[in-house]
Amino acid sequence: MTKRPTRIRAKTAAHRAKTTAQPVPFPESGDVLRKKLLREFVITDAAGLALLQSACVALDAALQAEVIVHKDGPVVRGHRGMVAHPCIKIARDARHRMLVALKALRLERDE
């Protein structure tokens, strides 16, 4: 029994439009978050600065993953059919890491 060759489909106009769409611009990146927090709070100790850096890196990772999901769509073809995009989990975990780091900073406003 001979195996039939895999059929390759031409990209449709909708597919081309989806893959060439510009990513949604995000208003905040890790660097912007770091500058805002350093402007509003006094963070001078090494541990606090490390936590702030960790939160900013996590935010950047989450944003990168979200851009990929926006470009590719929320589901992708896996070896078992259509599955949730792996970057959804990456973005969720990165946002969680950011929130944990920000909570560990214990930022309080003096009012």
The alpha-helical segments, DSSP class H, found in the chain are 13-20, 30-40, 46-72, 86-105
- pLDDT tens digits in sequence order for the chain, 111 residues long: 565 554 444 445 455 455 454 555 555 689 999 999 999 999 999 999 999 999 999 999 999 999 999 999 999 998 889 999 999 999 999 999 999 999 999 988 766
Of the candidates 51, 48, 53, the one whose C-alpha atom is nearest the C-alpha of residue 31 is 53
Q: Write down the pTM of the prediction.
A: 0.72
Rg of the Cα atoms in the chain: 20
